[in-house]
Structure formats: C-alpha cells, structure tokens
Amino acid sequence: MPQRIRSPENLQPQFSFDGASSFTTVESKFKIEQLFNHGRWKDPFTFKHFLFCLYLPIGLILWPFRLLIIIVLFTLTLFLPKSFSKYTKPLAKIAMGIKTTYNGIENLPKKGDKNSARILVCNHLTDFDPYPLFGILEENHVMVGSHIRDVPIVGKLYERFNTIYVDQNNKAKARIDVLDSLSNTDFPLLIYPEGGLNNGKTGLMMFNKFVFGLGHSICPIAMRLHNNWPVETDYINSSWFKNFFWWILIPYHHFELTFLPHESIKQDETDSQFATRVQTIIANKLSLEPTLYNYTQKRQYAKHLLSLKN
C-alpha cells in the first residue's frame, strides 16, 4: 500500500550519499533514482525489443509525415479562430499518436457552474501530458513564466490557450495575477504541481503549494501512461527534442485519466498540508508513494549524474 506521509512542515527529508548514485531519505529510505527512467531502452532485453526493431524502418518512414501534420495543425492554431479547435484537437491527437481513456467524467469542472473546481491538478509523466486533456476540456488556463510571452511563435501560441503569465520571482504578484484571471473567466486552470517529470512507476514528487493557497477547490487527476513498447518516452537528462523524436516514432501512446472528486482546503489546514493531501490522494489512486522529493532535488540529482559522466 502507498505510504502516507506527514506534512513537509513537520518532516524534512535528510539526504545521504552512499558512494554511487543513490540518494535516500533517512525517514523512508526511498531512493530518488527510482522516480526516474535512466535510459531510452527498457531493461531487460525481451522479444518486444526485437519486434520494435523490425518496426523501426516503418516508423522512420511515417515520422516526417506525422511531423508535417503536426506543423500544419500548429500553424492553423496560430491563425484560425479558436472555434476551429474542435476540428484541430482530434487531428492533433491522431498525429501525436495519443489514445485516451477517461474515468470519472462526472467530476470534470462544468462550465458556468460556480461550485465547480477551478483548478485541475495532475501528476506529470511526459512532455506531452496536456494533449489528452485538451481533447476533453473545452477551454482552460495554463500558467507559464512571464518571459515566455516574448519568445517568438511560442509566446503567440500560448496566448491562444488563455495563458496566465506570472512573474516567478514575485510570488505575491503571481498570486494576484492568477486570481484576477480566474475571476474573469469560468475556465479551470490546469497545472502539474510536481514541476517536473517522473516515471510514474514508484512515486510522486512533492507538490508545489502555490495553487493550493488560492482559495479555490481542486479537481485531482490521476494519470497513467500504459507504455507497452520497449522504449521510454523520457529519461532523466534527456532533452525535449530527443523525447519528441521518439514520441513520434512510437506507434501510439495510451493515457488513462481518472478525474477524482473535488477537494477543498480544510479550516485547520495550511496550503502545504492541503498540497500533501491532494498529492497523497492521487498517489493512492495510482498505487504510488507520495514522496518528499521536490523538483529542485531532481535537478540536483540530474546534475550529479552528469558529473559522473565527466
């Protein structure tokens, strides 16, 4: 059974280094490396690897055609009215090779319902996690750093997704900007509070407390990726471009999303405790451990792995 943990305010992880690449918490002995994939090819070698190698020539032939469709849809998204998204979204899922199973649809925030959850919180598995959600959400907010607004093409694209730009160095202003945006629409805000990817096999990283202190109810989303292929869609220190190449090369990807009942902060809870409670709810649904490791510690571990190669 997944292990319930105390609030980060009451329990802080202590790290030890055992001489290899193993960081552990003294409290749970959970190894941080278990949260991430460490290579593109799965171990051990099986007959599936042989079959996938036979498929590779076909995948490489299809790759540029799938990429062309994605580029065309990307361009249409930039210039066509938003109303056309109902046509482009299904095509984007096909081009990206995404198959989706939805559970708990009744818990989805309902447009125009003031009692619906305003924030969607999901665990983070791949660089392309938003696509299965875009297929079922009419519209939603996303939150990105304010510097993205000035990035050519990308900044323009984000504007099409009701983006909330926040100053990451000014949390007080960021809070005001998010609350103002939510008050002007009835769209939910979609966020991945782990801040980074994990392999979805052992545990969840600690949830950032920011959105849990906004006074809005939360719709937790438990997401699984059923990866039957002998390759991983991501591994630690892999780049977005490498992940994208293999993503398009793989025939298809099966996501299973479960929308869980809405949760609100309790009278005696802090925002950190609320974040931990929602993290635990999602982890329990996925039979994973809600860990105390955060994104900063993932970055430190990733740098450590790079240093071992030098």
* pLDDT more than 70, % of the chain: 89
Q: What is the 3-state secondary structure (H, E, C) of the chain?
A: CCCCCCCCCCCCCCEEECCCCCEEECCCCCEHHHHCCCCCECCCCCHHHHHHHHHHHHHHHHHHHHHHHHHHHHHHHHHCCHHHHHHHHHHHHHHCCEEEEEECHHHCCCCCCCCCCCEEEECCCCCCCHHHHHCCCCCCEEEEEHHHHHCCCHHHHHHCCCEEEECCCCHHHHHHHHHHHHHHCCCCEEECCCCCCCCCCCEECCCCCHHHHCCCCEEEEEEEEECCCCECCCCCCCCHHHHHHHHHHCCCEEEEEEECCCECCCCCCCHHHHHHHHHHHHHHHCCCEECCCCHHHHHHHHHHHHHHHC
Residue 6 has pLDDT above 80, yes or no: no
| Alpha carbon distance 264, 59 (integer Å) | 46
pLDDT digits (tens, 9 = 90+) for 153-186: 667 777 777 888 888 778 888 888 888 888 888 8
What is the C-alpha separation between 258 and 107, in angstroms, rounded? 9
d(CA 242, CA 228): 19
How far is CA 14 from each of CA 29, 31, 99, 232, 276, rounded to the nearest angstrom? 10, 12, 40, 30, 18
Q: Which two tokens stand for residue 100?
A: 């989706």
pLDDT at position 50 is 95
Q: Return the pLDDT at 154.
A: 66
Mean pLDDT of 295-305: 94
pLDDT level of residue 29 (50, 70, 90 thresholds): low
> What mean pLDDT comes out for the span 145-151?
74
What is the structure's pLDDT at 3? 37
Residue 195: both structure tokens together: 């801040």
- The confidence score (pLDDT) of residue 13 equals 43
pLDDT tens digits, 119-128: 999 999 999 9
How many Å apart are CA 88 and CA 76, to the nearest integer?
8
Residue 8 reports pLDDT greater than 80: no
pLDDT (tens digit, 9 = 90+) per residue, 240-275?
Answer: 999 999 999 999 999 999 999 999 999 999 999 999
pLDDT for 75: 85
Distance (Å, whole) CA 249 – CA 62: 8
The average pLDDT across 113-120 equals 83
**In the predicted model, is pLDDT for residue 18 greater than 50?**
no
pTM: 0.86
pLDDT in tens, 283-292: 999 999 999 9
Q: Give whichever of 70-74, 139-143, 200-204 has the largest mean pLDDT.
A: 200-204
- Mean pLDDT within 83-92: 82
pLDDT of residue 17: 38
